[in-house]
Amino acid sequence: MPHLSRVRLCSEHYPTRDCYPFNLPLFQRTASVDLSAPVTLFVGENGTGKSTLLKAIARRCGIHIWENPGAARLTPNRWAEQLYRWVEVSWVQGPVPGSFFAAEVFREFAELVEQWVLSDPGQLAYYGGKSLVSQSHGQSLLSYFRTRYRIKGLYLLDEPETALSPRSQIEFTRLVAAMAGAGHAQFIICTHSPILLACPGAALYSFDRPSITPIAYTETEHYQTYRAFLADPAAYLDGGEARS
């Protein structure tokens, strides 16, 4: 059962329509997004607003976004971080805890866990029983996912496939499907992975259209591009014009 049923974009109250992300047509033309599926996948080109909306949902739900305080800001203004103020979420049976995952800060998180373990070795039990930093990046990610997602909650992930091999992406997709199917976990994920996009029972939304729109797996550009490339790599790599 999903924990969130819907997110609404209150475009009528936006403070500006001249700055990102409020100037994106899809944020102006999308009234709401149905989140009633146990797994919702956001797909689209970079810069279309997927991650921005995902973070806004997290902030509106009171979910902490782990960030490196020393990292340089990529946006020249704070509007993207403030989008959550004009987002409304509908809970099914009241708020639940959750987490936000982004691959670029996971290594720092793993090193912090390692410091905790020095004073409390029992902490490792929450992360698979093995040091996260002693494993490869992909292995440590899967160890974290396997333990964290057994807990009831709302889980938002920004491109989790980044450090995962194709085989690990398949394993991760199976894990997401199993945890969502068990009824305790709901996932909202931004992804470019055609493997993850194939997650059974997932609802897919395209950010490449004038509004955020449901899309079938085989209609996504990611699926079509990968399928065409694997069928004829030379068409893409030998100087010929790429075909879709």
Cα 40–Cα 43–Cα 47 angle in degrees, nearest 5: 130
Closest alpha carbon to 143 in 119, 167, 170, 168: 168
**Per-residue confidence (pLDDT) for residue 191, from 0 to 100:** 97
Tell me the pLDDT tens digit for each residue of 7-60.
999 999 999 999 999 999 999 999 999 999 999 999 999 999 999 999 999 999
Tell me the pLDDT tens digit for each residue of 98-145.
999 987 776 666 666 666 566 667 666 666 666 655 555 567 778 878
Burial 80-112 (b: 16+ CB within 10 A, else e): beebbebbebeeeeeebebbbbbbebbeebbee
- Any idea where the domains of the chain sit in the sequence? 4-237
Statement: residue 244 has pLDDT above 50: no
Tell me the pLDDT tens digit for each residue of 212-226.
999 999 999 999 999
Of 145-149, 202-206, 228-232, the range with the highest mean pLDDT is: 202-206
Please report, rounded to a whole number, the percentage of residues in the chain having pLDDT higher than 70: 80
**Per-residue confidence (pLDDT) for residue 105, from 0 to 100:** 72
Closest alpha carbon to 219 in 229, 208, 234: 208
Prediction pTM value:
0.87
AA identity, residue 195: I
Matching CATH number, 4-237, of 3.55.50, 3.40.50, 3.30.200, 3.30.70: 3.40.50
**Per-residue confidence (pLDDT) for residue 141, from 0 to 100:** 79
Q: Cα(116)–Cα(133) distance, rounded to whole angstroms?
A: 13
